[in-house]
Amino acid sequence: MENIQKFAETIIANIEKVIVGKRSAVELAITGLLCQGHILIEDVPGVGKTVLAKSIAKSLGCTFSRIQFTPDMLPSDVIGVSIFNQISRLFEFRPGPILAQIVLSDEINRATPKTQAALLEAMEERQITVDGITHPLPKPFMVLATQNPIEYEGTFPLPEAQLDRFLIRLELGYPLIDDEINILDRQQFQHPVDSLAQVVSEEELKSAQEAIKSVYVAPMVKRYIVELSRATRSHPDVYLGASPRGSLALSRTCQARAAILGRDFVLPDDVKALALPTLSHRVILGPAARLRDLTPGQIVSEITAKIPAPGGDLRGSGK
């Protein structure tokens, strides 16, 4: 796992030339990248959501596309459209911005449900279908979607099916005072993202994405992961709990975290660290819980604290 650890450290160090003081959020983003998953970033404007997506794309040398979602946007504005060519007398496919490797879906909850649904096939099956013809998406493919938690007017809440397709939900938050001064110094003459260089290749990324699948997850840890997910479904304040896709997401992200930290096996600490970002957005609260100002994060934290973690040797035979 040393190669994956070095790979992750190289990307994180490069991104931190731009994103200051947000090590944990950057590590979560790279965890999602290694798991071939998508990330939902929910935070206030101006904290670096767009810059984070650009930094990841530049560090990998991947194609980058930004989609600004608005209420009047149509599905064809996202996935593309077939246009009739009067010279050749044939329909030609004009690809939309979704056909890039790193796609920033900015303010995704401003689009109508019909347009939001255009992303479902792309996020889950890595393909789009236009006029009955399927077009595969490039590899690697990653959607980083942002939504603003304080601007509710003119927004459409993301449906449960779409929330479930995001591997991780993270927040960047405001920087500390020293970090914000550092940001001012770095951007005095130009934005550091403009000079950011590629530090790893696509082949290295694909190799790392495959390698994390071999990280050992002990049966006791698997049971612990499933118990956490199942507990969200039976909680009295929860209307809809985490699906089996949530269990899969938690297991895979734990494998990636272990590899980033140089281990070839998953510990319960990995599960505890990733339960909140991988499960909280999959939990839909009941009306009574919302009236008491409870949050899904509080429910997941309560469940994590209540269910005992497994002990013993979790490294597997011969490790």
Give pLDDT, residue 150: 53
Query: pLDDT confidence of 212, banded at 50, 70, 90?
Result: very high
Query: pLDDT confidence of 1, banded at 50, 70, 90?
Result: low
> Cα–Cα distance between 273 and 275 in angstroms, integer?
6
Length of the chain: 319
Per the domain annotation, does 74 fall within a domain? yes
Chain segment 10-54, per-residue pLDDT in tens:
999 999 889 988 899 999 999 999 999 999 988 777 788 888 988
Residues 6 or more apart from 298 whose CB is under 8 A from it? none
Mean pLDDT for 122-140 is 87
Looking at residue 74, which CATH number applies to its domain? 3.40.50.300
Structurally, the chain folds into a number of domains equal to 2
Smallest CA-to-CA distance from 222 within 246, 247, 243, 242 is with: 247
120: containing domain: 1-214
Q: List the beta strands (DSSP E) in 175-314.
A: 238-240, 284-285
Mean pLDDT for 279-294 is 88
> Cα–Cα distance between 314 and 220 in angstroms, integer?
8
pTM score, whole prediction: 0.87
Query: pLDDT confidence of 153, banded at 50, 70, 90?
Result: low
Give pLDDT, residue 154: 61
Give pLDDT, residue 177: 93
The reply to whether 157 and 230 lie within a common domain is: no
Give pLDDT, residue 187: 86
The reply to whether 23 and 155 lie within a common domain is: yes
Query: pLDDT confidence of 318, banded at 50, 70, 90?
Result: very low
Looking at residue 225, which CATH number applies to its domain? 1.10.8.80
The reply to whether 34 and 168 lie within a common domain is: yes
Query: pLDDT confidence of 246, banded at 50, 70, 90?
Result: very high
Query: pLDDT confidence of 223, banded at 50, 70, 90?
Result: very high
Does the pLDDT of residue 261 top 80, yes or no? yes
- Are the C-beta atoms of residues 14 and 30 closer than 8 Å to each other? no
> Cα–Cα distance between 269 and 67 in angstroms, integer?
36
